[in-house]
Amino acid sequence: MASTGSVSASEEALLVAAIQYPVPVIKGPEDIQVQVDRICTALANTKAGYPDLDLIVFPEYSTQGLNTAIWTYDEMLLTIESPEIQQFKDACKKNDVWAVFSLMEKNEDPSKAPYNTAIIVNNLGEIALHYRKLQPWVPIEPWSPGNYGMPVCDGPKGSKLAVCICHDGMFPELAREAAYKGCNVYIRISGYSTQVNDQWIWTNRTNAWQNLMYTVSVNLAGYDNVFYYFGEGTICNYDGNVIQQGHRNPWEIVTAELFPRLVDQARENWALENNIFNLGCRAYVGKPGGETANYLTWVEDLAKGQYKLPWDDKIKIRDGWKYYPDGVKLGPMPKK
């Protein structure tokens, strides 16, 4: 049950807008402020066009771009205390709307690589959720692995929100972790080029169905003189069906009206389809109460820090040597 892009919403409905932001071409730190201003303007204009809007989602890399030659230098990084982030917070408060933003976040330890980060800002201008990408896209992305786990926050209209970033969405374990913590609207922000266009849609759908939750996913759109980014914002129902599907157009706004309570009711009342419950309560027909003992070898090994595949010794690509032969460059940018 959802609208197909209404400007208004039912009292109990969460109206979301995923913006297929044009991939920014960033050549230096001065370009970041340009994008921040542009994002804040887009937020204000979108809220004006959709007055009942509750949540606006911007893609990964929309703030600082994807220039791999410079993206880890100090001048290209932000923190959640940066004035640019304050500008995002002010925009949410002024326009009475929640929003998801992307930033490449400076590590607290300057000797270590930065984080690829997403924040959810509420309509009071407060950070409601701070997430660091758990699965950077190896062997290209030079980010430190996230250390905040998969947080979930209370959102508007009875929603419980979590956000993952791009490649995170290819891991069913992360979607399950969000759902296990109560998430009923799982947000995915991405900066994918066209190589994984089909897989993007499949995983958005399976993450929804396997966990009985809405998924709201949006990707950058357009050409940055190297790659084409496919846009295709996808909003999926908790039964895995696509509610709304964007195209490849930069600036396309994909909207839908979601009902978080219907997710909660499905989780409470469904039986055969209640995958997330049945995982930990197996065969409750044949065994009263079901089997609760762990039967998954990989779960046990991962918990022990001993995760290892049978073909581990045959895996060829284990680092980013091809893309960063001299290692990730940290600190100030070289002087021209």
Name the residues annotated as catalytic. 60, 133, 166
Strand pairing partners for 78?
Answer: 105
Q: 144: burial class by Cβ within 10 Å (0-12, 13-18, 19+)?
A: middle
Q: What letter does residue 258 receive in the DSSP assignment?
A: E
On whether the CB atoms of residues 273 and 245 are closer than 8 A, the answer is no
On whether the CB atoms of residues 55 and 99 are closer than 8 A, the answer is yes
Residue with tokens 């297929």: 20
Q: 111: closest CA among 333, 328, 335, 334?
A: 328
How many residues make up the chain in this entry?
A: 336
On whether the CB atoms of residues 78 and 35 are closer than 8 A, the answer is no
d(CA 321, CA 327): 8
d(CA 164, CA 204): 11
d(CA 169, CA 204): 7
d(CA 239, CA 247): 22
